[in-house]
Amino acid sequence: MRSSTDTREYIGRSGITEDVSLFVTASFRASLRYIKNIPSKVRNYFVRKINERKNRPPRKDINKVYVLVGYTTRKHVDDKFNAERHMIIIRRGLLIIIFVLLLFFTLNRVLNIVKFDDMKQMFGISGWGEVVSHDPFNSASPTDAAATEPLDTIQTGG
């Protein structure tokens, strides 16, 4: 294979001026071709946008309209969407069941460990009645007793 210097000698021209002139002429041809194609590129852009707008499905509400592309059908897409929704519902239900069972087992373990008779003896309290009987914030006087009665025992005048 010949080197570039052999080719230049074969053509019979000088080296660097020939390279510059080839570069300039190639650049000029490419620029001219680009400028010549600008109107058709602009026209094609607008034609493509107009065709896309014409081919859009009509929107009657604010929801996005999906266009099926390829070999799928609406039934297939709806079935896939419903299957995903059912899986989400099942997953959430299983999580709730797991948390309820975990809470149940934890409470069962804690309540079996705690001995309430020992706790009552340790704190000196036999029930909630003793705790709330000496409540300093309870200022119920005999005149306020009517206000604290249950609603079904209060007699109305009419």
Residue 85: both structure tokens together: 């929704």
pLDDT confidence bin for 100, thresholds 50/70/90 = very high
Region of residue 70 (left: phi > 0; alpha: psi -120 to 50; beta: else) = left
Q: Where are the domains of the chain?
A: 1-56, 66-127
What's residue 5's pLDDT?
55
Tell me which residue of 109, 131, 108, 112 sits closest to 120, measured CA to CA: 131
Whether the pLDDT of residue 157 is over 90: the answer is no
Question: Rounded to two decimals, what is the model's pTM?
Answer: 0.34
What's residue 137's pLDDT?
76
Q: How far is 10 from 76, CA to CA, in rounded Å? A: 69
What's residue 44's pLDDT?
94
Q: What is the rounded average pLDDT of the residues 75-95? A: 92
pLDDT in tens, 24-82: 999 999 999 999 999 999 999 999 999 988 887 777 777 776 766 777 788 888 898 89
pLDDT confidence bin for 13, thresholds 50/70/90 = low
